[in-house]
Amino acid sequence: MHKEFLMGNEAIAMGAIAAGVNLVSGYPGTPSSEVLETAAKHRTDNTYVEWSVNEKSALEVAAGAAYTGARSLVTMKQVGLNVASDPLMSLAYIGVKGGMVVLAADDPGPISSQTEQDTRHYAAFSKLPCFDPTSAQEAYEMIQEAFTYSERYSTPVFFRPTTRVCHGYASVTVKDPAEYTSHRPEGFIKDSTRWVIFPRLSYQNHKKIEARNVTLADDFSSYSRNQIFPEETHGLGCPDGYTKRDNIAASSELPKKKRGIATGGISFTYALETLRQTGMVRLLKVATPHPFPEKLALTFLEGLDEVLCIEELDPVIERELTYLCGKYHLPVKILGKLTHHVPNAGENTQDSVRENILDFLGLIPDTIADKQDTPPVLPVRPPVLCAGCPHRASFYAVKTAMKGKKTIFCGDIGCYTLGNAMPLDMVDTCLCMGAGLGIAQGVGHMEPDTSCFAFVGDSTFFASAITGVINAVYNQADITLIILDNSTTAMTGHQPHPGTGRTMMGDIVDKINMEAVLRGIGVPIVETADPLDHEAAVACVRRVAKEPGVKAIIFKSPCIAITKPSEYMTVDSGKCIGCKKCIRELGCPALFTENEHICIDTSLCTGCTLCSQLCPTGAIHSAASKEHSADKSDTSKTSKGGGSHE
């Protein structure tokens, strides 16, 4: 054993490798992406790793491996679980032979998601066991135990870390390679009575699942990570450094009330930190929210008067404890999200949990920091497209070409969702991955006089948009598909996809040609254009958009994060008339004003040239241009930053 400083996602991956995982599949999505990337980096010779085309495919690949007796791990974020839910629900009835862990990372906040979806509900819905780690160290150990439970009960299991577990760093004790489990699958054994799902088999398996979950609930009550931390006795006094609230201190009922706190996930870590300061009340840590460890919970509830439930995201623990109090007629008052003692939306923080606990215990700190010691509120910095992002040029080309016409611009999930920000204002709808195509079709069928555009990225095209294109062709829709091809999966960390020509195993493979796919589907007009050639891009949009039926434009230009700019743009102050057209129409973060002059932040500028193509006086040009080489020193005075890319 040795220690390593690891991100939670890295710890999870290292734990899976230590458990002898044979196959890891997944689709990138924050906050889960680093799990698969770490598994690919540190995999053994017996481990296969792939970025699948979407979450549904990833889960099915992992299920196939588990059918052979292999240990498999499939990774995704919480909204990706919706995509994988079709095979998941049936797989819950079929079961597996090898250990199979379904990692669905939840995103309270949400920080980078459409929803604050709680995977624990999916566990109950699918009747599958769920593991909820509280820290990077526990995540490392728990995922190894999850494989064991999966094999013991022949079922896939959920592993549900949340953002602060996924992205928090800690010193983690890990196994040496010599200590790894070496797992060799038995192989697939044909048995249609087990692997082929029929209504009769589903009915029989449903009964088995219900009986299994009763056994599992008992098993989880003795699982070491489900724990009760006993209270400490403080008599009638108050912890050092705290004062009782006036309304509580005057109450004669205070000494009679016994309080407890129930929690799980990262909220447990926050709660424990606070209780170590205030003095412990009885604390229930729920590591397996489904099946709920009923016997352990009843032991926790015994003799208590009030329980505060602190959890992310929904009141899952709270509802279970409320149910148990009703079932066994326990006189315990359960407080939490349902009673509005804890916020019912957003992520928990160390500060919010501390405040909830102090309020529950009727305590206030003796010392309050002076106002001058309070750190200033950070300015709001909304996310924007990067300087030089080709998506900005693509959006602007479409906006220019369709100016004055009745249009709808249906967006999608990815960096290009940021095209909704001013001044571009080019995303009218955004629902989920691939949905822009369907929404554009629906609007078009109801409003034939509206020019309907659907924007989608290259990775999302392969993941979930192809079906929408087929639907459009089949049902004779009138839409223009804009594929923003920047040669990577940019928003989640630049993972490869079928159009990049490489896999996570390091293999160089043939790129899937999007133009050929579209033509094969039956799209008659498919053009490829460079969005950074503004005049040509605008002409392309005008030409294609006026055609009837389904047509497509592939705007192809690599993400600036994976290319190395060789120069930046500069402003000739003598030619600049201060019209601010470049700033007003593009919103590029590299452009700013200083003393009424247009300036370029050379530390951000990538030399994409879009602003120079818009400038009515030709005042913006390449800093490397010989014609303006003598002006470089003058211009640098009005350019913030100073780090040249040369």
**216 CB-near residues (< 8 Å, 6+ apart):** 129, 153, 291
pLDDT of residue 632: 41
Residue that the structure tokens 């489900």 belong to: 226
E-assigned strands of 416-532? Answer: 451-457, 479-485, 525-529
Residue 370: its pLDDT value, please? 43
Burial code of 519-534, b = ≥16 C-beta within 10 A, e = fewer?
eebebebbeebbbbbb
Runs of H (alpha helix) within 5-161: 8-18, 33-42, 55-67, 78-94, 119-126, 136-153
300-309, 310-319, 566-575: segment of lowest average pLDDT? 566-575
At 634 the pLDDT is: 44
Q: What local confidence, expressed as pLDDT, does residue 239 receive? A: 65
pLDDT of residue 372: 53
Using the predicted structure, report yes or no on whether residue 646 has a pLDDT greater than 70: no
Extract the tokens encoding 590: 């590299």
Does the pLDDT at position 245 exceed 80? no
Which amino acid appears at position 376 of this protein?
P
Assign a CATH topology to domain 569-636: Alpha-Beta Plaits (3.30.70)
**593-604 exposure pattern, b = at least 16 Cβ within 10 A, e = fewer:** eeeeebbbbbeb
Mean pLDDT computed over 322-346: 95
Handedness of CA 313, 317, 322, 326 (dihedral sign): positive
pLDDT at 497: 80
**CA 53 – CA 276 distance, rounded (Å):** 46
CA distance 23 to 157: 15
Q: Is the pLDDT of residue 311 over 50?
A: yes
Burial class (CB in 10 A: 0-12, 13-18, 19+), 103: buried
Is it the case that residue 496 has pLDDT exceeding 90? no
Query: Residue 232 pLDDT more than 80?
Result: no
Q: Residue 134 has which token pair?
A: 């509280």
Res 615 pLDDT > 80: yes
Span 446-467, pLDDT tens digits: 899 999 999 999 888 988 899 9
pLDDT at residue 633 greater than cutoff 50: no
- Structure tokens, 498: 């079928």
Contact yes or no for 131/287 (Cβ under 8 A): yes
Q: Output the six-digit token pair for 16.
A: 């899976």
Alpha-carbon gap, residue 53 to 72, rounded angstroms: 17
**Helix axes of 199-221 and 78-94: crossing angle, nearest 10 degrees:** 110
What's the whole-number mean pLDDT along residues 512-536?
Answer: 94
pLDDT, residue 236, reads 40
Determine contact, residues 558/487, Cβ cutoff 8 Å: yes
The predicted structure's pLDDT at residue 2:
95
Q: Is 605 exposed, middle or buried (0-12, 13-18, 19+ CB in 10 A)?
A: buried
Query: What pLDDT is stored for residue 381 in this prediction?
Result: 77
CB neighbour class for 316 (10 Å; exposed up to 12, middle 13-18, buried from 19):
buried
CB distance 560 to 388 below 8 Å: yes
The residues, any chain, with a CB within 8 Å of residue 19's CB and separated by 6 or more, are: 71, 99, 143, 144, 147, 180, 181, 183
> Distance (Å, rounded) from C-alpha 213 to C-alpha 153?
10
Q: What is the pLDDT of residue 641?
A: 33
Helix (H, G, I), strand (E, B) or coil at 48: strand
- Where would I find the H helices in 222-293? 246-249, 266-278
pLDDT greater than 50 at residue 324: yes
| Among 111-115, 119-123, 206-210, 493-497, the least confident range | 493-497
The domain defined by 2-221 carries CATH number 3.40.50.970: yes
Kindly report the three-state secondary structure assignment for every residue of 523-584. CCEEEEECCCCHHHHHHHHHHHHCCCCEEEEEEECCCCCCCCCCCCEEECCCCCCCCCHHHH
- CA neighbor of 388 nearest in space, from 581, 635, 557: 557
The CATH number assigned to the domain with range 390-556 reads: 3.40.50.970
**DSSP H helices in 197-311:** 199-221, 246-249, 266-278, 294-301
The DSSP bridge partners found for residue 104 are 76
What whole-number distance in Å separates Cα of residue 450 and Cα of residue 479? 9
Distance between CA atoms of residues 473 and 465, nearest Å: 13
DSSP state, 256? G
pLDDT in tens, 147-167: 999 999 999 999 999 999 999
Residue 110 has pLDDT above 60, yes or no: yes
C-alpha to C-alpha distance for 255 and 336, rounded to whole angstroms: 22
Pairwise CA distance, residues 205 & 193, whole Å: 11
Residue 369 clears pLDDT 70, i.e. is over it: no
* Interatomic CA distance for residues 302 and 444, integer angstroms: 61
User: For position 250, what pLDDT does the model report?
Assistant: 44
Bridge partners of residue 333, in order along the sequence: 306
- Out of 48-62, 541-555, 564-578, least confident range: 564-578
Average pLDDT over residues 394-409: 95
Q: pLDDT tens, 182-226?
A: 999 999 998 988 888 888 888 999 999 999 999 999 999 999 999
Of 383, 433, 385, 437, nearest to 408 (Cα)? 437
User: For residue 435, what pLDDT band results from cuts at 50, 70 and 90?
Assistant: confident
Bridging pattern class, strands 363-365 and 333-335: unpaired
Look over the chain and give the mean of its residue pLDDT values, rounded to a whole number.
88
The region of weakest confidence among 4-13, 90-99, 415-424, 502-511 is 502-511
Using N-to-C axis directions, what is the helix angle for 514-521 and 466-474, rounded to 10°? 30
Q: Three-state SS string across 610-635, please? A: HHHHHCCCCCEEECCCHHHHHHHHHH
Q: What is the pLDDT of residue 199?
A: 87
* CATH 3.40.50.970 domain locations along the chain: 2-221, 390-556
Q: Rounded to an integer, what distance in angstroms lies between the CA atom of residue 156 and that of residue 146?
A: 9
Instruction: Name the segment(s) of the chain with CATH classification 3.40.50.920.
Output: 227-365
Dihedral sign, Cα of residue 333, residue 336, residue 337, residue 343: positive
The C-alpha atoms of residue 612 and residue 582 are separated, in whole angstroms, by: 8
- Taking residues 578-597, what's their average pLDDT? 89
The per-residue pLDDT for 112 is 82
378 falls in which pLDDT band (50, 70, 90)?
confident
Contacts of 195 (CB under 8 A, 6+ apart): 67, 94
pLDDT for 233 beyond 60: no
Of 599, 611, 606, nearest to 640 (Cα)?
599
Tell me yes or no: is domain 227-365 CATH 3.40.50.920. Answer: yes
Q: Looking at 98-112, 311-325, 583-597, which range is the least confident one?
A: 583-597
